[in-house]
Amino acid sequence: MFVQDQLVVYPAQGVGKIESLRQQEFGGVVAEFYIIRILSSNITVMVPVSNAANVGLRKLCTKKQAQKVLESFADRSSFNGYTGQNWNRRYREYTERLKSTSLLDVCHVLKELVLISGEKDLSFGERRLLEQAMGLVTSELSCVLERQPGDVKAEIEEFFADILQREENTP
């Protein structure tokens, strides 16, 4: 169970702060809810306490896990390259991974899209997914490592400097 003022991760939305626990009646049934303010967008979500695990609400990763995540960006051995696979299939897979309770799944999407961008121009949808993945990763890592999101993003981009620099120089 989570407590008030605790930072948590809500899949596909990012880091949020539990502002309160509230009981509310729906159809004659009283249920308890976490009231969570998502830090990046300032939106408020209500998550039933009884269903928190099913929606993927989780604690932030540890500092050790955060360091491993950052180091994982240096390993490109699992990347097979853009093989012309169906964009719709890839988009669905990446969208599902962004909803995952695993930070490593979100990092996989971020890494793959950056690496694909080194081989071809990303579509509008791919760029949106890339931005979303970057936001989810940087928001969690910045909270865990107690650093500014911009600094964490710059460190991640440094792992891909060769690719990102190539993109800037392409007309």
Pairing of the two strands 14-26 and 7-10? antiparallel
* 98 and 130 fall within a common domain: yes
DSSP letter at 119? T
* 50 and 91 fall within a common domain: no
- Angle, helices 87-98/103-117, rounded to nearest 10 degrees: 150
* 93 and 165 fall within a common domain: yes
How many structural domains does the chain have?
A: 2
* 112 and 158 fall within a common domain: yes
The token duo for 42 is 């300032």
Does 170 score more than 60 pLDDT?
no
- Residues whose CB is less than 8 angstroms from the CB of residue 2 and which lie 6 or more positions away in sequence, other chains included: 8, 18, 34, 52, 57, 59
Tens digits of residue pLDDT in 62-82:
999 999 999 999 888 877 766
* 76 and 144 fall within a common domain: yes
pTM comes to 0.88
Name the amino acid, one letter, at 53.
A
**If you average pLDDT over every residue of the chain, what do you get?**
90
HSE, side-chain direction, 13 A CA sphere, residue 128:
6
